[in-house]
Amino acid sequence: MAADRSFAGLLRAWLTVYLPTTRGSSANTVAAYRDAFVLLLRYFQDRCGRPPERVQMDDLNPRAVNEFLTWLADTRHASAATRNQRLAAVKSFLRYAQSQAPEHIAVAGPVLALKPARSPEPVVAYLTVHAVKLILAQAKRSSLRDLALLTLLYDTGARVQEVCDLSIGDLRTNKPVTVTLTGKGRKTRTVPLTGQAAAIVVSHAATLDGRPAKTPLFENRDGRRIGRAGISWILQDAVTRARAGHEDEIPQKATPHQLRHSKAVHLLENGVNLVYIRDLLGHASVTTTERYAKASPEMKRKAIESASAGIVTETIYDPGTRQDLLTWLRQTL
């Protein structure tokens, strides 16, 4: 039976076969790409009067795609970063479509040439070492599970979904204690735990002793694998209680990703090479990791001091001249 080379057929195969199976994309990636096309079809319905079943490959032309991105900005107030994500989804589909149906190359080419919108570099929000300690201290008061979860999240610099997906079998409890994380594109990496973190996580794992290797390492109250919302709630609960007396140091709200950012910045401030931090975080390129160096005032201070070392020498002004300069500055200011 010949494959369906229409827009609907290609879209179905892309979402249900190519992305999850052939490419090995995560469920979150597939969901994000699906949502992009839900919005695109809604745009065709609302603005073009074309119901989803009538959309054809030829409708995905540069003019329509640009108008779709403008519609996102005007009606949904989507940021440049969000619009770029939607455009990336459309491009991913068109790359697939032209590989499966070469007759669509002429349609795909012009859209693939579209440039993403310029967007400001996102601010890297991170916590101080002391703030992390205060938050973990509050998690310890809640339960061993909460302490182990947040400790592992910070110590490994893991993405929240990577922690959600952990099973007992992913934790190596013999020394050196390591955990195997499965990240974007189903790529795995093995991350060692520091001594104190290892002791906490292994203690939690001991409470699950005797259960199958595929048992979730962290479960919710119903005994099922904990989700992103559950982890966010645990963190926010600890943050709220840790703020008492430390309002200036701990923000009102914190996200699991901030713990990942915090770990990266703390490692940089302690002189760890960017390449090692890249591997720890599972970044595809060290360029992504470099943003943490820009985010840390401590790193900037060290860079400035290093650059100016040996340049600033003894002053050329004698004491009398310096006093005259100070007097002039006071009068000027």
Other beta carbons within 10 Å of 308 = 9
Residues forming beta bridges with residue 216, ordered by sequence position:
167
Which domains, ranges and CATH numbers included, belong to the chain?
A: 7-112 (1.10.150), 129-303 (1.10.443.10)
Q: Catalytic residues, which ones?
A: 159, 184, 257, 260, 283, 292
CA distance 154 to 252: 19
178: Cβ–Cβ under 8 A, 6 or more apart, which residues? 171, 172, 190, 191, 192, 193
- Gap between the Cα atoms of 16 and 6, Å rounded: 15
- What mean pLDDT do residues 4-8 have? 90
- Whether residue 330 is predicted with pLDDT greater than 60 in this model: the reply is no
Task: Give me the pLDDT at residue 333, please.
Answer: 43
Higher pLDDT, 137 or 288: 137
Give the least confident one: 25-39, 227-241, 280-294, 317-331: 317-331
Measured between alpha carbons, how far apart are the two ends of the chain, in Å?
84
**pLDDT tens digits along 40-57:** 999 999 989 989 999 999
From the list 62, 150, 152, 64, the residue with the least C-alpha distance to 106 is 62
Which pLDDT band, with edges at 50, 70 and 90, does 311 fall under?
very low
Q: What SS3 state is found at 181?
A: strand
pLDDT, one tens digit per residue, over 179-238 is: 999 987 778 899 999 999 999 999 999 999 889 999 999 999 888 999 999 999 999 999
Lowest mean pLDDT among 132-146, 211-225, 285-299: 285-299
| CA angle centred on 8, ends 5 and 9, rounded to 5° | 40
- pTM recorded for the entire structure: 0.65
